């Protein structure tokens, strides 16, 4: 083992040379990065830069044309997720990952009760003790600052901010090792966003979560991300620590992105 290998911890996720096209459009071109346990990586860029496509490819929802997405699974260690048999990949996604969508209706069953939504990952992992699952669900309701009196309500009757809290609880209750978030506070009122962001920051820190976060909002990136990956027309044009990228952007596109936010 060389000296670097001793210092450098093993990555949780390793993306290598990932490319995805739609006809003539190159949505992501030759993207590579490592994500380590407990690290929050923000993927930023303007609309159409390829953020969502990259997120979909690395979260196993869309197979890239080229490249590899390797995840350190509990059972097999660092494994190309697209080489896994489909049922194994789905199980890994269910048991080891979370995915928080921008629109709660994409991540929740709106007509099931909120408690059923939150408890479902526990049941998927073999939980059968109703009382214990109910208690854990209630604990998570409190953790995301939802009133346990609403446990048996349907998310479709909740406010947007409450729905996002249900989605977050559902995606954390089973102790995932990696959580993907796609504009998790997009579409919410600014005041609701602020508290939700604080809550998410607390949870990420307390649980030591590894997160891949897609956002076009630099304030969200500043608050949550340790490191940023700036995308422009499918290319990663800059990566670095969040403060470095936002306070001293090197690439002209990152400079434009940051200055356009500061002008608002
Ligand atoms: N299913 C698809 N079919 C065809 N083209 C697509 C598809 N999905 C994405 N694209 C194209 O790929 C490029 C990247 O889109 P993508 O949605 O990944 O960007 P984005 O940065 O997430 O944008 P936004 O912030 O608006 O969601 C765009 O040119 C888009 O039109």
Q: Report pLDDT digits (tens) over 235-262.
A: 999 999 999 999 999 999 999 988 877 5
Q: Which atom of ligand 1 is nearest to the CA of 49?
A: 21
- Tokens matching residue 245: 């990228």
Average pLDDT, the chain: 92
- Tokens matching residue 19: 């490319």
| CA 50 to centroid of ligand 1, rounded, Å | 6
Distances (CA, A) of 39 to 6, 12, 101: 19, 9, 19
Residue nearest to atom 28 of ligand 1 (CA): 48
pTM for this model (two decimals): 0.93
Report strand pairing: 40-44 vs 227-232.
Answer: parallel
| CA 77 to centroid of ligand 1, rounded, Å | 31
On the question of pLDDT at 80 being above 80, the answer is: yes
Q: Which residues contact 8 (CB under 8 A, 6 or more apart)?
A: none
Residue nearest to atom 31 of ligand 1 (CA): 48
Residue nearest to atom 18 of ligand 1 (CA): 50
| CA 233 to centroid of ligand 1, rounded, Å | 10
CB of 98 within 6 A of ligand 1: the answer is no
Residue nearest to atom 13 of ligand 1 (CA): 27
- Tally the C-alpha atoms within 13 A of residue 211's C-alpha that lie toward its C-beta: 29
Q: Across residues 129-147, what is the average pLDDT?
A: 93
- What number of other Cβ atoms are within 10 A of residue 22's Cβ? 8
Residue nearest to atom 11 of ligand 1 (CA): 27
pLDDT value of residue 264: 43
Q: Which atom of ligand 1 is nearest to the CA of 52?
A: 22
Task: Give me the helices (H) in the chain, please.
Answer: 3-7, 51-58, 86-96, 104-107, 114-124, 130-143, 160-172, 190-207, 218-224, 242-247, 252-262
Q: Which residues contact 238 (CB under 8 A, 6 or more apart)?
A: 228, 229, 230, 245, 249, 250, 251, 253, 254
CB of 47 within 6 A of ligand 1: the answer is yes
On the question of pLDDT at 6 being above 60, the answer is: no
| CA 26 to centroid of ligand 1, rounded, Å | 9
Q: Which atom of ligand 1 is nearest to the CA of 53?
A: 18
- Tokens matching residue 213: 């976060």
State the Cα torsion 144-106-193-210 to the nearest 10°.
Answer: 60
Whether the Cβ atoms of residue 196 and residue 100 lie closer than 8 Å to each other: no
- State what percent of residues in the chain have pLDDT above 90: 80
| CA 52 to centroid of ligand 1, rounded, Å | 7
On the question of pLDDT at 125 being above 90, the answer is: no
- Tokens matching residue 50: 């390829």
* CA 220 remoteness from chain centre: 13
Q: Which of 50, 180, 253 to mutate to test the pocket of ligand 1 (most atoms within 8 A of CB)?
A: 50
On the question of pLDDT at 7 being above 70, the answer is: no
């Amino acid at each position: 083992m060389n000296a670097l290998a001793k210092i450098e911890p093993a990555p949780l996720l390793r993306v290598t040379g990932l490319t995805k096209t739609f006809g003539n459009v190159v949505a992501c071109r030759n993207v590579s990065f490592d994500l380590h346990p407990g690290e929050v990586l923000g993927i930023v860029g303007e609309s159409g830069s390829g953020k969502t496509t990259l997120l979909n490819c690395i979260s196993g929802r869309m197979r890239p044309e080229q490249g590899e997405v390797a995840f350190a699974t509990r059972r097999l260690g660092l494994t190309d997720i697209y080489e896994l048999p489909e049922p194994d990949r789905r199980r890994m996604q269910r048991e080891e990952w979370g995915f928080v969508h921008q629109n709660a209706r994409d991540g929740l069953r709106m007509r099931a009760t909120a408690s059923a939504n939150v408890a479902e990952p526990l049941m998927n992992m073999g939980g059968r003790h109703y009382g214990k699952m109910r208690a854990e669900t209630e604990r998570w309701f409190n953790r995301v600052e939802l009133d346990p009196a609403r446990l048996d309500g349907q998310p479709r009757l909740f406010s947007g901010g409450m729905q996002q809290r249900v989605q977050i609880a559902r995606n954390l209750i089973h102790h995932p090792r990696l959580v993907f978030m796609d504009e998790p506070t997009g579409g919410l009122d600014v005041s609701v966003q602020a508290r939700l962001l604080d809550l998410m920051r607390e949870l990420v820190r307390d649980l030591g979560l590894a997160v891949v976060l897609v956002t076009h909002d630099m304030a969200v990136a500043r608050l949550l991300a340790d490191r940023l990956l700036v995308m422009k027309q499918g290319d990663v044009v800059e990566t670095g620590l969040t403060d470095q990228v936002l306070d001293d952007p090197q690439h002209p596109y990152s400079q434009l992105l940051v200055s356009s936010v500061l002008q608002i």
